[in-house]
Amino acid sequence: MALIHPQDKLLKPLPFPIYYWTVALLALAGLVNSIYLAVSHYRVYTDIGYKSFCAISKAINCDTVSQSPYSIILNIPVPVWGVIGYTLLILFLIFASFKPLKCGRAWSLLVLIALIFSCISIGLALILTTFINSYCIMCILSYGISFALLYFTALTRKRFGTSGFFIGLRQDIYLLWQKRVKAAAIFLPFLIIVGVVMVIFPAYWNMTSGTDWADIPRGITEDGHPWIGAESPDLTIAEFSDYLCFQCKKMHYFLRQIVAQNPTKIRLIHYHFPMDHEVNFIVKEPFHIGAANMALAAIYATSQDKFWEMNDLLFDMAGNEKEMNLEKLAARTGLESERLARAVNSQNMRQRLGFDIWTALKRRMVGTPSYLIDGKVYQGQLPPEILKKVLN
């Protein structure tokens, strides 16, 4: 009679349902996390007052990651791709649970899907480190879920599979063909929905008001700052902004709409406050590199009565292009490129920019966007009650 070594009992695999539901719960956690990230990505671009719970610092900031152009792949936000991927994995788990399938069947395909998830996670992590220089806590959680899925799907296949990985993969593909009616019932509606989503998905991240400034009164204040809106305003808003500041861009389009809808009530005055370490001494390390030159281009456009056209264009370019192209700016605003290039390097223009920065610092502004209304400073956004008084 053969003796059973105690250690052999320890090697006995747990019941299959424990492995199955561990993978299922991980996939569900990944789906929920991706849905949260998708909603957060949407609100970053559409909700003026939104700030995610993990926007903690410059280095740990989910909103910064969402604002990056790398958060969009093939015109679909990355977290939406996550929702699609985890849903696909859950559907495969449902397929793998059908009887009379054996507990080891379809798991080579599941390992392959989890491996793809893990490779994508590594690629996204490299992008965060190399290009964005900011990290998202919920994204890191998603990466951890991907690696855990790879581990547990591989462990399940090893415990219950009867063949090598590539042989098992071939068998799983053949199994899909054998069970094509059930497979079609599960996967075909999903594939149709994904196809429709890819065609009709709204590009909400392309912020634009669709408003033409041409019919709205505009002018220059006594101290040389461009204004637009009411000639005799009920409310005057002085904005201090930075063209490389995402919140400035979002508030810019919001205020465009408000002024366009109320051209006899609100006046908007623009000041430059670039968070560029080359011109702003409160910025102690490289930050928003190039924002100063963008402000200088806008100051020159003011002297040529082209500020609001230049202003819109600079906000549109911010985040979409790596560096400012003076020839493109000149062509799209009707300015002469040589004069624009000279103006950006002009000492006179730099003095005007320095005046704006000094004005902001005297008011103890420490970031952008900032707003000055009736002598009071507001940071980040405008309190709704101020606009409500004017707009009823």
* CA distances from residue 282 to 275, 277, 360 in whole angstroms, order as listed: 8, 8, 11
Report the distance separating Cα 126 and Cα 146, nearest Å: 15
Task: Band the pLDDT of 2: cuts 50, 70, 90.
Answer: very low
**CB distance 244 to 273 below 8 Å:** no
The helix (H) or strand (E) run that includes residue 101 is none
> What is the tens place of the pLDDT at every residue in 306-359?
999 899 889 888 766 666 778 888 888 888 888 888 888 889 999 999 999 999
374-392 per-position pLDDT tens digit: 999 999 888 888 888 777 5
Share of the chain above pLDDT 70, in %: 92
Q: How far is Cα 140 from Cα 39, in angstroms, rounded to an integer?
A: 17
Say if domain 14-200 classifies as CATH 1.20.1440.130: yes
d(C-alpha 237, C-alpha 215), whole Å: 20
Whether 220 shows a pLDDT value over 50: the answer reads yes
Tell me the pLDDT tens digit for each residue of 161-195. Answer: 777 888 888 988 888 888 889 889 999 999 999 99
The domain ranges of the chain are 14-200, 218-391
- Structural contact between residues 351 and 359, judged by C-beta atoms closer than 8 angstroms: no
Quote the pLDDT of residue 319: 64
Mean pLDDT of 237-259: 90
* Cis? peptide before 100, omega within 30° of 0: yes
User: Is the pLDDT assigned to residue 104 strictly greater than 90?
Assistant: no
For residue 302, the model assigns a pLDDT of 93
Residue 211 has pLDDT above 70, yes or no: no
Q: Which residue has the higher pLDDT, 164 or 209?
A: 164
pLDDT in the model for residue 165: 86
pLDDT(300) > 90: yes
pLDDT of 11 higher than 70: no
**C-alpha distance from residue 4 to each of 7, 35, 214, 270 (Å):** 8, 49, 89, 83
**274 or 206, which is more confident?**
274
Give the confidence band of 93 by pLDDT, cuts at 50, 70, 90.
Answer: very high
The whole-number average pLDDT for the span 12-37 is 92
List the one residue out of 109, 25, 70 whose CA is nearest residue 79.
70
pLDDT tens across 81-91, in order? 999 999 999 99
pLDDT at 6 exceeding the cut of 60: no
Tokens of 208: 């634009």
- Phi then psi for residue 100, to 5 deg, are -95, 35
Residue-level pLDDT at 3: 52
- How confident is the model at residue 320, as a pLDDT? 65
pLDDT band at 1 (very low <50, low <70, confident <90, very high): very low
Q: Is it the case that residue 275 has pLDDT exceeding 70?
A: yes
Widest CA span of the chain, in angstroms?
105
pLDDT of residue 187: 93
Task: State the pLDDT at residue 273.
Answer: 96
Instruction: Give the span between the Cα atoms of 259 and 237, in whole angstroms.
Output: 10
Residue-level pLDDT at 212: 62
**Where are the strands (E) in the chain, listed by range?**
72-73, 76-77, 218-220, 226-229, 235-241, 266-272, 370-373, 376-379
Which tokens belong to 185? 């019932």
CATH entry, 218-391, from 3.40.50.150, 3.40.30.10, 3.30.2320.50, 3.40.50.970: 3.40.30.10
Average pLDDT taken over every residue of the chain: 88
Q: How far apart are CA 129 and CA 351, in angstroms?
A: 37
pLDDT in tens, 25-74: 999 999 999 999 999 999 999 888 788 888 888 788 888 899 888 999 99
